[in-house]
Amino acid sequence: MGKTNGKEQINSVPISRFQIDPLLSAFDQDQTLLTPNHRSAKVIMQGYANKKKVGEVWSRPQVFAIDIWLQQLWAKLSINGIEPFCKLQILDSFSEQCVWTEQLKASAERYPLLNLQETAAAVSYSYHLYNQWFLFEKLKPGDTKYSQNFSAFLYWSQRYKSFLEKHELIGLSDAILILIPSLHELVRFLPSRMLLVNFNDPPPLYARLIGTLEDLLEVSYHTRNTPGISSKTKPDEWQPNLNSVKRLQFPNLDTEIRACVSYSLERVRVNENEHIGIIIDHEKEHDFLLWKEFNRQAGHRNGDLSPTKAQYFNTFSSIQSLADAKPIELALSFLELNQTRIETHKFCHLLQCHQFALGGEELSARISLELLLRNNFSSTTRLGHLQSVMQREGKPYYCPHLSILLTKFSELSRRSKDFLPLSAWAELFTRQLELIGWPRFKSEDYLQWQKSLYQLSRTSSIVGKLDITGALRQLRLLLYQTPRPIIFNDELQISLVSLDEALDFDFDSLWLISADDQRLPCSISPDTFLPLSIQQEYDMPRSSYKLQLKQANLILTRLQQDTHEFILSHHKYEGDLEIRPSPLSSSIALSPIADIGSTKNLANPLNPVEFEYIQEPLCLPLTSVIGTGGTSLLSNQSNCPFKAFATHRLGAQKLPNLQPGLDAMNRGSALHLALEKLSTKLNHQEKILESSAATRQKFIDESIEPAIEQMHKQHPDVMTPTFSNLERIRLSNLLNSFLEFELSRSPFLVQGTEQQITWDHSLLSLNFRVDRIDKLNDGSLVLIDYKSGKKSSYRWFDDRPDDLQLPLYQLAIGSDITHISGAFIYQVNIEKVTLAGATDKEDLHPDIKPLAQVRLFDGTWADLQERWNSIVIAMAAEFEKGLLAVAPARGNQTCQYCDLSSLCRINDQKNLLDEQDELTP
């Protein structure tokens, strides 16, 4: 059944992805077929299976990737007790990398490295190239003309070999080097006939192996022809067949992807047995972009790009690692609870999860626990501390069952020894996960997980005994290196392939995306550790432009063969950057986009997503008194009516981020408290003037202590003695700068601090505190609010100010006190201490301009008060009316400081408008 475009159909003829017919006689004669890689072997097997009738019983043909065949041969020789094969065990790739990592670690004093694992992977690759090109025969180790990198490589290689020798292990390329000269004596273990498929230009080591096999058995070849490649006039140059090859240019990648999907779906619709290839670049995330576009054009809203669920197309190399799979991520998060300190945000994810023993049990208590953790905990914590919190009976976050489960979980590791081999840790992890009820469903990812744990156990002898942190590190590394299993869906007609992968298949039509000068030919990326001159001399992979060009010509020549329509597309711009088309396609004239199948219908995709337009009410009036929200309720209303509605009527808020250490809010409120205490002690400018430096410092120190105590209460884990001292120094510096500023002001007396006010207006009853009220020499009062942030513009003179705090203060207090002469923000941070606000007074401070000198406002302090009062009343009325328009006062600038964009969906609205603009001629 084919279902790629939403219709269902019967495939009477299977989709032909590979011409299997030329190989059938080899199967009949029971020959062994070798391919250069697993992918080719799988494709051949699939093609062979397609030839068989439904229900027919057939034995598995002998088709192997050459490396697998060699390992099997080694195992056979070993079982038969033949030396040295029975003495040496071939390493799998992860074990090999562990050996390299250990050797790099042991030589850290001589060659210090920042990233051991990545370097180990790179050295391991270089080592195989070194063997495959027989460089040990060609390079003299003492030659000083080679770089430091190469001498480090030789040193590590020596250590690697010694380690393997000692532990009776061997890497694959070394194993081939041993096998080749021994094959003459091992003929009885070899098949009598062998067919090598698609071995084009193998590395010298494999070429020598194949040469030896040719001497001993009947070896034949199956290779695709490359007509045109050996043209006498221009050797190695691709000759595009202008009857089948077309070149398209698009303005950007989005339109290129859209056209490609539209074209592919149309071909699927027209011919249900065609094999359609799309050649992508994994590094540019083409697969993700294509999947999104297929979703859009096929009318699906919730697709799944997971390689275990082929939905629109088959892929052949997994872009995701096993660690990226959701169930595996969950298992790792559970196992990380074994660490002394755990990451609070990961624990919060576990609290939301249903996929373990508790399922949905205690869910609402778990949600309350998460909110508590996000509001009061720092980014890391101890499991024991969390358990003591969740055991608090009567609290909304009381989770007794979860606590018991976690106790049993930790007991399993507590009973183990501190240092164990990886095999023992793998067993413990399995038991812990079973206890926790993981996994709930046994998927392909789970089967791969089991294989990975087995592989982890096999590295025990290489890495020795580890503590639990080391064992988890090894496990994580292995899971990141293991690709997620890929499921092949035989019903799908579209294949997403890389340039190399494309060579394994036959296509009816082929579309190469991003055929630009970076990709065709690919830019060079020589090996890091081997001398570049040697790599170029021996034509080692990706070492020179000449080689890349030759490779690109070869690939294009092979691809155009047997493909009825071959499209090379590219786009002109990536952001502001102009992209050049591939020089290999310059001889092909640009085709008009409308000529290419259904791409002329780009504006009308096959299955467009139907939007349903719903007219929401513009207002939902307030029906009862609202007593929460303080001054922010009106400031939010002024910034964006929807923001105020969502925050104060719906109770929407962003989940607080868990940060390492103290966040800006903790620090700000600590400073606030210290300023309040200091202003109470030194409540008169004269008093500050008269006190000595030592007395001022004493007052500062005394004011800081309650702030430190407050932070300690909130974050006992963070506020260690050292950290507390650092905070003391920070606050002391700020308070000293603050006092200096106080001295530069005109005389004042602190009349009051933290004055509690309630403003009752219609259905609003807003409570807030005025940080400080100062009395000036003329008896008038100024209102002050402390701020530790760096915001400098509050738009007080706009119709919708950013901040209505000062306007509301003066209105609410003004009804009791009539002689207010100004309102200010007292900004105190490490960059500066200053006052900003509005007044008519000229001598308050050199930083403060009287309103008469302010360009943005034409009037006096009394005029401004009147204006502010009317704005505050208007915003209150708007809120009561329940206006819920998504209307940020200053567009993007307002949204930049708002966390509700996923709720108001202003970005969707903008995208929709942009799309409509794009489609409007």
Question: Which residues of this protein are in contact with ligand SF4, per CB under 6 A?
Answer: 639-640, 642-643, 886, 888, 894-895, 898, 900-901, 904, 906
**In the complex with ligand SF4, which residue's Cβ is closer, 629 or 888?**
888
Instruction: DSSP letter for 59, please.
Output: P
Q: Which segments within 139-192 are labelled E, that is strand?
A: 169-170
Q: How far is the CB of 885 from ligand SF4 (least distance, A)?
A: 9
Q: Hey, what long-range contacts does 363-368 have (CB within 8 A, 24 or more apart)? A: 364/396, 365/390, 365/396, 365/397, 365/398, 365/399, 366/397, 366/399, 366/402, 368/395, 368/396, 368/397
Q: How far is the CB of 502 from ligand SF4 (least distance, A)?
A: 44
**In the complex with ligand SF4, which residue's Cβ is closer, 138 or 654?**
654
Instruction: DSSP letter for 320, please.
Output: S
**In the complex with ligand SF4, which residue's Cβ is closer, 47 or 641?**
641
**In the complex with ligand SF4, which residue's Cβ is closer, 673 or 886?**
886
Q: Are 534 and 478 in contact (CB under 8 A)?
A: no
- C-alpha triplet 847, 851, 855: angle, nearest 5°: 95
Q: How far is the CB of 484 from ligand SF4 (least distance, A)?
A: 36
Q: How far is the CB of 868 from ligand SF4 (least distance, A)?
A: 22
**Cβ atoms within 10 A of the Cβ of 321, count?**
15
Q: How far is the CB of 471 from ligand SF4 (least distance, A)?
A: 45
**In the complex with ligand SF4, which residue's Cβ is closer, 331 or 889?**
889
**In the complex with ligand SF4, which residue's Cβ is closer, 502 or 906?**
906
- C-alpha triplet 114, 120, 123: angle, nearest 5°: 115
Which of 858-893 are b and which e, b meaning 16 or more Cβ less than 10 Å from the residue's Cβ? eeebeebbebbeebbeebbebbbebbbebbbbeeee
Q: How far is the CB of 902 from ligand SF4 (least distance, A)?
A: 9
Q: How far is the CB of 652 from ligand SF4 (least distance, A)?
A: 9
Q: Within its chain, how far is the Cα of 699 from the centroid?
A: 49
**In the complex with ligand SF4, which residue's Cβ is closer, 39 or 643?**
643
Q: Which residues contact 525 (CB under 8 A, 6 or more apart)?
A: 542
- Which one, of 186, 177, 157, 187, lies nearest residue 88 by Cα? 177
| Residue position matching structure tokens 């964006």 | 640
Query: Which is it for the CA torsion 175, 181, 185, 187, positive or negative?
Result: positive
CA distance linking residue 44 with residue 28, whole number of Å: 14
**In the complex with ligand SF4, which residue's Cβ is closer, 198 or 639?**
639
**In the complex with ligand SF4, which residue's Cβ is closer, 439 or 801?**
801
According to DSSP, the residues that pair with 220 across neighbouring strands are 195
Q: How far is the CB of 413 from ligand SF4 (least distance, A)?
A: 45
**In the complex with ligand SF4, which residue's Cβ is closer, 644 or 844?**
644
**In the complex with ligand SF4, which residue's Cβ is closer, 260 or 634?**
634
Q: Are 280 and 290 in contact (CB under 8 A)?
A: yes
**In the complex with ligand SF4, which residue's Cβ is closer, 645 or 786?**
645
Query: Which is it for the CA torsion 22, 24, 26, 29, positive or negative?
Result: negative
Q: How far is the CB of 888 from ligand SF4 (least distance, A)?
A: 4
CA distance linking residue 45 with residue 39, whole number of Å: 10
CA distance linking residue 384 with residue 670, whole number of Å: 28
CA distance linking residue 829 with residue 738, whole number of Å: 9
CA distance linking residue 354 with residue 363, whole number of Å: 9
Q: How far is the CB of 884 from ligand SF4 (least distance, A)?
A: 10
**In the complex with ligand SF4, which residue's Cβ is closer, 547 or 895?**
895
Q: Are 203 and 36 in contact (CB under 8 A)?
A: no
CA distance linking residue 775 with residue 784, whole number of Å: 11
Q: How far is the CB of 427 from ligand SF4 (least distance, A)?
A: 51
CA distance linking residue 648 with residue 766, whole number of Å: 12
> Which helix (H) or strand (E) element contains residue 632?
helix 630-639
Q: How far is the CB of 800 from ligand SF4 (least distance, A)?
A: 12
**Cβ atoms within 10 A of the Cβ of 85, count?**
24
CA distance linking residue 437 with residue 441, whole number of Å: 10
- Pull the structure tokens for residue 451: 């294989």
Query: Which is it for the CA torsion 32, 36, 39, 43, positive or negative?
Result: negative
**In the complex with ligand SF4, which residue's Cβ is closer, 422 or 904?**
904
Q: How far is the CB of 892 from ligand SF4 (least distance, A)?
A: 8
Q: How far is the CB of 640 from ligand SF4 (least distance, A)?
A: 3
CA distance linking residue 46 with residue 38, whole number of Å: 12
Q: Are 629 and 883 in contact (CB under 8 A)?
A: no
Q: Are 193 and 167 in contact (CB under 8 A)?
A: no
Q: How far is the CB of 801 from ligand SF4 (least distance, A)?
A: 15
Q: How far is the CB of 904 from ligand SF4 (least distance, A)?
A: 3
**In the complex with ligand SF4, which residue's Cβ is closer, 639 or 685?**
639
According to DSSP, the residues that pair with 522 across neighbouring strands are 519
Query: Which is it for the CA torsion 860, 866, 869, 871, positive or negative?
Result: negative
**In the complex with ligand SF4, which residue's Cβ is closer, 20 or 904?**
904
Specify burial of residue 56 (Cβ count, 10 A radius: 0-12, 13-18, 19+).
exposed
Q: How far is the CB of 646 from ligand SF4 (least distance, A)?
A: 6
Give how far Cα 20 sits from Cα of 26, 27, 203, 305, Å.
Answer: 10, 10, 26, 30
**In the complex with ligand SF4, which residue's Cβ is closer, 731 or 898?**
898
Q: Are 508 and 17 in contact (CB under 8 A)?
A: no
**In the complex with ligand SF4, which residue's Cβ is closer, 265 or 904?**
904
Instruction: DSSP letter for 36, please.
Output: S
